[in-house]
Structure 1
Amino acid sequence: MSAVAREPGRLPLVVGVDGSEPSLRAVDWAADEATLRGVPLRVVYASLWERYEGTALAGEHKPFEEVRAEDIVAVARRRALRRHPYLEVGAEILAEEPEYALVREGRDASALVLGTRGRGDFVEMLLGSVSLAVAAYAECPVIVLRGGHDNQVGAGPARRVVVGVGGTGKNSAALRFAEEEATLRRVPLDAVRAWRCPAHESVDHPLLAGEPARLHEEQAVTTLGEALEDVPADIDLRRRTVEGPTRHVLLGASQDAGLLVVGARRDRRRFGLQLGRVAHGVLHHASCPVAVIPEPA
């Protein structure tokens, strides 16, 4: 398989494939994104087929799964080149668990792109097998497309980028990624801050009704403004503060968007998945592709 050289400043965009239609649609999306970014595309297929077939069974012929793997990456590579003939596209077959292989690939990638199957309870449980694990542990941005998502990166108001603004302020890696995406795509950037008034702060006196909520909303506006102070002036920036649970607010904002960007803080001292409820929820239910961005601990 052909390889893509990893030049400083031109880290490849990596897309994981498994031969399914969702993964091939992810190839389309990744090819568009790599072209926008001016970086190579690297197609990766990972499987433990060697463990089960082994070279001893092959004889004079390649094992079936090896041939299948070669066919999958060849089809994906041709598909990307048909879409963008001048894109530099490499391919790699790795005899490993997909989760481990893709997380390792992410150490030298500008981003990882994964396609998963569509909606439905059973399908959503399957999302956790690879996509959730990679999004939880990868050291680079991870973009996940479900089966129902559009496989095209493009411009226009309906393709706007939405970013959830948390407590990281100006230092938010998610905000920087969203700024870059909005600039590359030439689309508006919607910065959304959710806020809630804790139930114990509600009051019964009619003259004070609504006061705690107003204070929390004002704090949300201030926090959002401070986080967005350094956003470049040439970006069409739209800021919103919305009352409600963050996950529900961002899911609503993902309607008719081209990309939803969320940050994820990792605690390496903790075992298990390193994703919070917000990232976990939007990965399962957002109406557009979701980019999960590692935030500094």
Structure 2
Amino acid sequence: MKEEKTHSAQNGYLMLFVVLALFIGGIALLRIYIGAFMIFAALVMCAGFVLVNPNSSRVLLLFGKYVGTIKENGLFWVNPLYTKKRISLRASNFDSERLKVNDKLGNPIMISTILVWRVTNTYKAAFDVDDYQNFVRVQTDAAVRKLASMYPYDNFADEGLDEDITLRSSVNEVSEALEQEVQERLSMAGIEVLEARIGYLAYAQEIANAMLKRQQATAIVAARHKIVEGAVSMVEMALEELSKKDLVALDDERKSAMVSNLMVVLCSDKDVSPIVNAGTLNH
């Protein structure tokens, strides 16, 4: 397969002087045939001027044959018969549409990506694919669909998952995998991927409420676990201090009642109403 090659074009300012000289000389000699020929030659040569802006290029063709690519910016002159195709070398942003796909667990999610890319091989971009800009859009969507099916949206303990990488929490790992996947697909078009990352991620609308409740329930269970763990430590410390300082003698029945009351007070999510016992400990 042919590769990109740089074309050395002639200085455009020098040729501009030549064209102006031919045009002015042709006007001066317009009464004879050579004057008309000089004007005609000047007009034909005007078609050979090429202006290349910074971070831009021109792909040159001669009757369908690839001649080369001009990447140096400035004013140049080439064969007037060349076909000149403009290809930008600037970095471009692509924000994909939100796609509805299934994650590794089969849950429907909405996902989109932000891609930063640029053309590095003008020959591949111009001739190996039909429309390189549309090629970027289609292949990026395909890469996002594949990536979403490789990882779960989140890691839930009740499903027995032990996934180190999830779409929601592992931003760097997922972005790296996405960038590699997109680069493999776009390399045939001579395109370099500068950055690829997830732009939008959420559960699909039909399961969003259910998943939100599930996440809230998981958070509540985790919080309750911490509260109970702390309450047990506080009750244990209270019994040890009472026993150490010999403030009150407690049998097993009274210890059980005290533990029960303390656990209710410490673990309750509402304020408790204390009851003052003015009699003995048994009443």
Which category describes the TM-score, using the shorter chain as reference length? under 0.3
Query: TM-score normalized by structure 2?
Result: 0.27
Bigger fraction of residues in helix: 2
Structure of greater Rg: 2
Query: TM-score normalized by structure 1?
Result: 0.26
